[in-house]
Structure 1
Amino acid sequence: MLVLRSLLITVLFYVNLTLWLIFAALPSMVLPPRYLLAVSVGWVRSTLWLLRVVVGMRYEITGLENIPPGGIMVAAKHQSTWETLVLVTLFRDPVFILKRELTWLPLFGWCLKKLRMIPVDRGARARALAGVMRRARVELGEKGRQLLIFPEGTRRPAGAPPDYKTGVMHLYGDLNVPCVPVALNSGLYWPRRGFLRWPGTIRVTIMEPIPPGLPKEQFQALMQERIETESDRLLAIGRAELAALGYRGA
């Protein structure tokens, strides 16, 4: 049954995405970006509903009260596609830093551009970071948006050793805004590689913001310690839950 449910949710995920792109996102392209953001949130919520009904995958978020108003940076653990969806629903006007290849996709890439997401050329290194900083200063400082970044740069398997990049601390030092760390255990239920989708409750913890002004190296160490400690705790809870359900998990 697990295999059949995983197959069904994979098919429904792409069918649902295609329908939202054609019948909702594409018409909203001629309207202000806030309408497209509303469409994006609607699509995410419909996807979460499908995951709950078909797979039995639920989620629990704690710490929403820790999100300050105005322009902030959000540094989240990245284990799965799941959090790239859910984080969109938690913030008033989110902006992602993402690999530029995603903006080349038909329809989906057009939406990313319309929403003023920040593409990055991973091969350009220093030049790419400078461009990201310029865009981020505009989106956070002038528009008061919430910058969502994955400090490890790409998805990591649940429980893998941390691999935090230095780009996040340079952004922190340059932007002078609070940074909200986010821990999660999504990789147990929706692995970064693999076909199976596991039932259970994905847990997300939004922690107290780290104030601006710390030395960059001190910030980097503090952010990583908070995210990793809480993510390890959530992984232990998730593994116990999967074991109780009779599954080994990811």
Structure 2
Amino acid sequence: MLIVRSLLFNTAFYANLILWQIILIPGALVPRRQFMELVKMWARTSVWLLRVVAGIRVVITGQEKIPAGGALVAAKHQSFLETFALLPLLDDPTYILKRELMWIPFFGWYLAKARCVPIDRKAGSMALVQMTARAKEEAQHGRQIIIFPEGTRRPPGAPPAYKYGVAHLYQNLGFPCVPIAMNSGLYWPRRQFIRRPGTVRIEVQDAIPPGLAREEFFKLVQERIETASNRLLEEGRAELGMGPASSSETSLSKV
């Protein structure tokens, strides 16, 4: 049944994605804020399919900790789920993402319409300069800049691999940073077909005010995300009957 349910969900999810890419064609003509509301509708339908077809509930707590206006949102990245599940949580979100995604027909055009912030990883130090300038412009217009500080999806329990880009943004934007922890990788594993029924927990942590020294912030944002994510992983493992993490996983996750 797990395989069948996963197959049904994956089919429905990608069919829904294609449908919304068609729906958004005329939507690309409306103002960006209205366009983002349509994108959030796609995100909500995807979360609904997760619950109804795959049996995966998404529970988000701590929304009241998100400050109004511009902010940097630093989220754990374990699966594809958080790329859409975070959208309805925020007022006017945009993503830091690799430039190559902007080249995908339709999908990339919509990313441009949403004024996502591309980063050219081959541009070296100039990539940070360009990314920061674009992100600051969006944040000054009251938007929430979502970044995955590790740069890519990491399996649950893997040692953290945070990049300094998040600290660079924090220092230069001058806005609070909202850390977000989760255990999504247990239910929607990266590079796997299986979708395990259960409860994905996404937890908003206390916002970090602007003005901290770079190293102090870099240590604090990792500590808040990793401590909460490890706790959520243990709760998820218990729900799935996986048992606690091994001692090697626990020690690695604290690196």
TM-score, normalization by structure 2: 0.93
Q: CA deviation at 1:192?
A: 1.1
What is the aligned-residue identity percentage?
57
Give the structure 2 partner of residue 187 of structure 1.
Answer: 185
Alignment check: 8 A CA contact 1:36 1:111 kept? no
**1:44-101 CA distance string (max 9 Å, x none):** 1111111111110001111000000111101000001101101111111101000111
Q: CA deviation at 1:175?
A: 0.8
**1:212-247 CA distance string (max 9 Å, x none):** 101000000011011100000000000000018xxx
For 1:25, what is the secondary structure of its paired residue?
helix
For 2:8, what is the secondary structure of its paired residue?
helix
Q: Are residues 1:19 and 2:23 paired? A: no
**1:142-194 CA distance string (max 9 Å, x none):** x1110100100110001100000011101111111100100000000001111
Give the structure 1 partner of residue 225 of structure 2.
Answer: 227
User: Can you give the 5+ residue segments of structure 2 that lack an aligned partner in the other structure?
Assistant: 243-255
Give the structure 1 partner of residue 246 of structure 2.
Answer: none
Q: Counterpart amino acid of 1:9?
A: F
Q: CA deviation at 1:123?
A: 2.0
For 2:121, what is the secondary structure of its paired residue?
coil
- For 2:55 and 2:14, the matched residues in 1 are separated by 18
For 1:182, what is the secondary structure of its paired residue?
strand
Give the structure 2 partner of residue 212 of structure 1.
Answer: 210
- For 1:187 and 1:123, the matched residues in 2 are separated by 28
Q: Are residues 1:154 and 2:152 paired? A: yes
Give the structure 1 partner of residue 109 of structure 2.
Answer: 110
TM-score, normalization by structure 1: 0.95
Equivalent residue runs for 1:117-196 within 5 Å: 117-141=116-140, 143-196=141-194
Large movers: runs of 4+ above 4 Å: none
- For 2:71 and 2:19, the matched residues in 1 are separated by 33
Q: Are residues 1:199 and 2:197 paired? A: yes
Q: CA deviation at 1:125?
A: 2.4
Q: CA deviation at 1:10?
A: 1.0
Equivalent residue runs for 1:95-106 within 5 Å: 95-106=94-105
Q: CA deviation at 1:116?
A: 0.3
Q: Are residues 1:51 and 2:50 paired? A: yes
Give the structure 1 partner of residue 87 of structure 2.
Answer: 88
**1:20-41 CA distance string (max 9 Å, x none):** 111x211111110122211111
Give the structure 1 partner of residue 245 of structure 2.
Answer: none
- For 1:243 and 1:211, the matched residues in 2 are separated by 38
CA RMSD of superposed structures (Å): 0.9
Q: CA deviation at 1:7?
A: 1.1
Give the structure 1 partner of residue 3 of structure 2.
Answer: 3
- For 1:151 and 1:35, the matched residues in 2 are separated by 28
- For 1:47 and 1:210, the matched residues in 2 are separated by 30
